[in-house]
Amino acid sequence: GAGVSQSPSNKVTEKGKDVELRCDPISGHTALYWYRQSLGQGLEFLIYFQGNSAPDKSGLPSDRFSAERTGGSVSTLTIQRTQQEDSAVYLCASSPSRGYEPQHFGDGTRLSIL
Amino acid sequence: KQEVTQIPAALSVPEGENLVLNCSFTDSAIYNLQWFRQDPGKGLTSLLLIQSSQREQTSGRLNASLDKSSGRSTLYIAASQPGDSATYLCAVDSNYQLIWGAGTKLIIKP
């Protein structure tokens, strides 16, 4: 596809379960970003990948959160032992390189923890 | 720690008016500044990106300015239309992260 694709678009799960969110960036984009948008919290940075490496993991809220990127393409964000405060829209973005080009966003995954 | 503030939080104007949205940031050591729009239930659409060495960028009816020394950016929308109704977000690229403002919710009344 032409844009950033995220799946699933919606996920409802019970507290304590693990979830995996997927991001397919635009082909050829080396930089990939994950953000979280919570009600009342605004947008917050989670993690950034350059290729398969993550130079900055400082935004991950706890050690329950992890992310990986393989083949310089698809990325997965995993949340273990989900808590209700993890409920949010998780947004993925990609850009050809960091800083010089705008980031292109997917439509997000709306995660609801019951 | 970089902080980004957007004023006003909400704005409602009649169609056809020109308007200005404001964004301020606390640390001038930025890589670039970006303006996005977000429609309800949708992702983010990039509108304009201003590199730290630039003063302004234009795209159609949109013009964004950057004054790094004073920590300010403005987004000017000319001849507003109902389709411009959305939330406008300012984000500063600072140390690999985009730091976001809370947004301005814009309503253009027909």
Among chain B residues, the shortest Cα distance to A47 is held by: B97
Q: Is the pLDDT of residue B43 over 70?
A: yes
Give mean pLDDT, residues B18-47.
92
Output the pLDDT for position A2: 78
Asked if B15 and B81 touch (Cβ cutoff 8 Å), the reply is yes
The beta-carbon neighbor of B43 closest among A55, A102, A105 is A105
Contact B43 A98 (CB under 8 A): no
pLDDT under 70 in chain A at which residues? 1, 99
Q: Which residues of B touch A (CB under 8 A)?
A: 31-32, 34, 36, 42-46, 49, 51, 89, 91, 93, 95-103
- In B, which residues are within 8 Å of A101 by CB distance? 49
List pLDDT tens digits, range A97-106.
776 788 899 9
Q: Do A98 and B96 touch (CB under 8 A)?
A: yes
- Residue B96, pLDDT > 80, answer no
R_g of chain B, CA atoms, integer Å: 13
Q: Please give the pLDDT value at position A1.
A: 52
> Between chains, do A102 and B46 touch, taking CB under 8 Å as contact?
yes
**With b meaning 16 or more CB within 10 Å and e meaning fewer, what string describes B51-64?**
eeeeeebeeeebbb
| Neighbour tally for B45: CB within 10 Å | 15
- Cα dihedral sign, A73-A96-B3-B106: negative
Please state, for a pLDDT cut of 70, what percent of chain B lies above it.
Answer: 98
